A and B are shown apart, each in its own frame.
Chain A
């Protein structure tokens, strides 16, 4: 939930997960102003789609494709939107999860991540994700990833939101913090016997 200003953790209540239409969730990392602009674009897209009043509504696949085009086109004009986006949702029983980067890189998978998550979270998810996980299992896995990122990513703060989307609807959790562990014996006196080291 952090909005950094250089290395200052300036804003500590930024909502970086938003729901798009009825079928999609969008999570963003990077520049907050660009994310807000993207939300405006998507708002327009959803509204115009809704105005057809034809019973059809844009799902996560469509939103993902649209965002890919937007990001790639801006990249080609050397004026990128500085975001990495996670797009996920369910439409007509079909689950979908994808990622779009600031240069238009995009893919679809059972687990995705942005930024440091690519290095720290994806290996964890590769090892522990499996088909037909329960909601509880999924939350536990996500929290495991979030904790590692909290320890090791300088731009992370101890404030998270987890969002869920199913055929039935969307829930975005209230912000919450995780307990951190500092009880390793080695942390007490790490330089004992090696004065001047770390």
Chain B
């Protein structure tokens, strides 16, 4: 089975946006694939639009990048003209305009999340056709299929920042366990009145799920070794 290395780059992906009491938490995996090959195992799918608004990208890597570039450009102009930070609603609507008006050409699902002084933390879902929906939480990307049941059970209103972040990390990690198109590390971005915080949860620090095993340095170890592996060298 020859890998199709000229297949368009798609971010199979798991992306999540969750509001909590005071702000939002955005989460994503880090796998970008070309067919069955993992082109980038540590991608950053949570992209900045303004100081206070970020977007989670899924679907075609090219489409989502160019769309977010355009939106960032126009939002930047808008911020200057307005004289104050753009609101999350305006950012979401701009994304919608691009998504909807070019729906025949684009293949990207996005989650906009941010904080502004008027409405606090907000999450907007902009799936494939250009619909906009404001939601307390939303999931997207191919890995999200495995999370509908999980969120039905685990989501509750009025969570704290730590609860929300833990939920997001757990969810992305569960999706990575079952979706071949998602993988790598879990990145989160938390946005609130205080500002923006980026976090990084790497493979070894994520919990183990059903039929997953504790990683070891080698089969040759009889006891669990404490040391981490070195980066590869030839």
Contacts and interface: CB of A to CB of B under 8 A. Distances in A.
Contacts of B108: none
Contacts, number: 135
Interface string A1-33: 000100111101100000000000000000000
B3 A116 contact: yes
A198 B69 CA distance: 12
Contact of A7 (B32, B142, B202): B142
A183 B38 contact: no
Interface stretch (B43-51, B126-134, B148-156, B160-168): B43-51
A153 B183 CA distance: 10
A196 interface: yes
A181 B69 contact: no
A180 interface: yes
> Which has the most chain A C-beta neighbours within 10 Å: B200, B203, B214, B219?
B219
A181 B179 contact: no
Given A154-B180, A184-B42, A178 B216 contact: yes
Nearest to A84: B1
B26 to A, nearest CB: 14
Nearest to B201: A182
A58 interface: no
Contact of A187 (B42, B183, B211): B42
Residue in A12, A177, A179, A186 whose Cβ sees the most chain B Cβ within 10 Å = A179
A189 B197 CA distance: 12
A191 B47 contact: yes
A160 B219 CA distance: 10
Q: Which of A127, A136, A187 lies at the interface centre, i.e. has the most chain B CB atoms within 10 A of its CB?
A: A187
Contacts of B40: 198
Given A177-B216, A195-B72, 9 more contacts: A4-B180, A7-B12, A8-B180, A119-B3, A153-B38, A179-B217, A180-B229, A196-B68, A198-B44
7 contacts: A84-B1, A155-B180, A158-B215, A177-B214, A181-B230, A190-B42, A195-B72
